[in-house]
Amino acid sequence: MKIFPKLNANRRTILLATERRQHKGPYRRSAPVGARPRSCWPLVQTLKGEAIRPPRSTLVTQQRAFNEFRHLYNDERPHEALPDRTPASLYRPSRRAYSGALPPVEYPGHFIVKRVTNAGTIRLRKRLLLIANALKQHPVGLEEIDDGIWSIHFCNVLLGRVDERDYIIRT
* Cis peptide upstream of residue 37 (ω within 30 degrees of 0): no
Burial class (CB in 10 A: 0-12, 13-18, 19+), 32: exposed
Please name the helix (run of DSSP H) or strand (run of DSSP E) that holds residue 87, with its range, or none: helix 87-90
Q: What is the mean pLDDT of residues 52-57?
A: 88
Residue 10 binned pLDDT confidence (cut-offs 50, 70, 90): very low
* Whether residue 117 sits in one domain with residue 152: yes
Please report whether residue 84 resides in a domain.
Answer: yes
Residue 73 lies in a domain: yes
Tally of domains in the chain: 2
Quick count: other Cβ atoms within 10 Å of Cβ 73?
Answer: 18
Q: Is residue 146 part of a domain?
A: yes
Same domain, residue pair 12 and 65: yes
* pTM strictly above 0.85: no
Question: The domain containing residue 80 runs over which residues?
Answer: 2-90
Residues 116 and 78 in one domain: no
Q: Would you say residue 103 lies in a domain?
A: no
Residues 11 and 52 in one domain: yes
> Are 80 and 123 found together in one domain?
no
Give every CB contact of residue 93 below 8 A, 6+ residues apart in sequence.
none
- Asked if residue 160 is part of any domain, the answer here is yes
Is 67 a domain residue?
Answer: yes
In what order do the strands lie in the sheet containing 169-170? 112-115, 139-146, 149-154, 157-163, 169-170
Computed over every residue of the chain, the mean pLDDT equals: 80
Contacts of 15 (CB under 8 A, 6+ apart): 5, 6, 7, 8, 34
Contacts for 140 with CB less than 8 Å, ≥ 6 apart: 113, 114, 115, 116, 122, 131, 152, 153, 154, 159
**pLDDT value of residue 41:** 59
Question: Does residue 54 form part of some domain?
Answer: yes
Kindly report, residue by residue over 120-158, the tens digit of the pLDDT.
999 999 999 999 999 999 999 999 999 999 999 999 999
- 86 plus 127 within the same structural domain: no
Q: Where are the beta strands (DSSP E) in the chain?
A: 2-7, 14-19, 112-115, 121-124, 127-130, 139-146, 149-154, 157-163, 169-170
Domain end marker among 55, 90, 125 = 90
